[in-house]
Amino acid sequence: MSGNSFGNLFKLSTFGESHGEALGGIIDGCPAGIELDISKIQLDLDRRKPGQSAIVTQRKEPDEVRFLSGVFEGKTTGTPIGFVIENTNQKSHDYSHIKDSYRPSHADYVYDKKYGFRDYRGGGRSSARETASRVVAGAIAKQMLKGIKINAFVSSVGSIQLEKDYTELDLANAETNIVRCPDTALASKMEDYIRQIRKEGDTVGGVVTCVVQNVPIGLGEPVFDKLHAELGKAMLSINAVKGFEYGSGFGGSSMKGSQHNDLYNEDGTTKTNYSGGIQGGISNGMDIYFRVAFKPVATIMQTQKTINKEGEEVEMQGKGRHDPCVVPRAVPIVEAMAALVLADYTLINNSILR
């Protein structure tokens, strides 16, 4: 119930604080016999890791994963896959400024209230560093989901928004620039804006869009565990996420039924896809697409007023190396969570007697 696991049949449990000894996790339920390409796992870790470009945090973490079990002679065995990522960058920092004071819009205050005390080093368990474990598990899930294509990309940074529909774009272009926006001209503007925001000692939010293609019909469970409900939970569990919409989303709420209904072609595909590939909570074989809103990073390099444990007002100056905008590094995390959801529902769907 403590919420450190995700999934049912393909289940990830994670552990680890940002500045503790190591992060890691257990992937339980991964079927036997999947040949694992470890380099693809590392590739996704590299897409998430700090220091990868000029517009992300300049912390240095190699983020190398070590597998301890569940893989034998290059293949999964069906037993739990234990893995560890050592924290190499956790040398003696000075945390005195956050030990007794609460950073605004961080989890410091609520952790102290909930648990009585907290591991104050770099945010402890509430740090987004935890998502490295998700990326490992998601990369394995991707390898299980042969044929399914999962592509996330940045669709807005601050007020700079991608207006084009994803179907007009080559999604592979997202990986050709450091913002991870498939419209390279727009990516360039976004990059400039992020550089400027950093200079101001400020941060900015953004949106990540994800497209999942070649999904078989029938994934998702009716009622409470609708496919999009679980995708929504998965995305909202990522640090800094404030909203989720799929298919027509919030925009669909101002449409009429006569516009919004997706009419069928004779092969069961639909002429439009306002449904976003999901009807009644179950995949219908069309593209699944959704948007995930990220708030601006709470740690800014400007002086802010806040309170300490005694409830006294204090001044706080952001320290350390932080992201001015989180969305470029969030792209592989969104993909990983999507992969975890799809892997889980694939196994649930497989359990049906036929």
> Among 41, 139, 283, 333, which residue interacts with a copy of itself (rule: CB under 8 A)?
283
| Least gap, CB of 318 to a copy of itself (angstroms) | 9
Positive or negative, the Cα torsion across 31, 153, 333, 41?
Answer: positive
Q: How far apart are CA 342 and CA 298, in angstroms?
A: 31
Taking CB under 8 A as the binding criterion, the range among 37-45, 88-96, 183-191, 276-284 that sits at the site for a copy of itself is 276-284
Say whether residue 246 binds a copy of itself (CB under 8 A): yes
Say whether residue 205 binds a copy of itself (CB under 8 A): yes
Take residue 106 and report the two structure tokens written for it. Answer: 């961080």
Helix (H, G, I), strand (E, B) or coil at 252: helix
Q: How far apart are CA 157 and CA 299, in angstroms?
A: 17
- Torsion angle (degrees, nearest 10) of CA 115, 120, 123, 124: -70
Q: Which is nearer to a copy of itself, 176 or 234 (CB)?
A: 234
Binding mask 115-154 for a copy of itself (x = CB under 8 A): xxxxx----xxx---x-------------x----------
String of DSSP letters for 95-120:
-HHHHSB--TTSSHHHHHHHHSS---
Q: How many CB atoms lie within 10 A of CB 340?
A: 25
Answer whether 330's CB lies under 8 Å from 132's CB.
Answer: no
| Least gap, CB of 184 to a copy of itself (angstroms) | 21
| Least gap, CB of 122 to a copy of itself (angstroms) | 12
Taking CB under 8 A as the binding criterion, the range among 44-52, 92-100, 176-184, 295-303 that sits at the site for a copy of itself is 295-303
> Among 78, 88, 176, 195, which residue interacts with a copy of itself (rule: CB under 8 A)?
78
Taking CB under 8 A as the binding criterion, the range among 15-23, 39-47, 91-99, 183-191 that sits at the site for a copy of itself is 15-23
> Among 59, 97, 106, 321, which residue interacts with a copy of itself (rule: CB under 8 A)?
106
- Tell me the site size for a copy of itself, rule CB under 8 A: 150
Q: How far apart are CA 277 and CA 215, in angstroms?
A: 9
Answer whether 83's CB lies under 8 Å from 24's CB.
Answer: yes
Say whether residue 333 binds a copy of itself (CB under 8 A): no
Answer whether 10's CB lies under 8 Å from 141's CB.
Answer: yes
String of DSSP letters for 284-330:
-SSPEEEEEEEPPPS--SSEEEEEBTTS-EEEEE--S---S--HHHH
Q: How far apart are CA 218 and CA 227, in angstroms?
A: 10
Taking CB under 8 A as the binding criterion, the range among 50-58, 92-100, 178-186, 217-225 that sits at the site for a copy of itself is 217-225
Residue at 132: amino acid letter: A
Say whether residue 185 binds a copy of itself (CB under 8 A): no
Q: Which is nearer to a copy of itself, 44 or 130 (CB)?
A: 130
Could you list the residues known to form a binding site, using ranges. Answer: 48, 125-127, 239-240, 280, 295-299, 321
Per the annotation, binding residues for FMN are 125-127, 239-240, 280, 295-299, 321
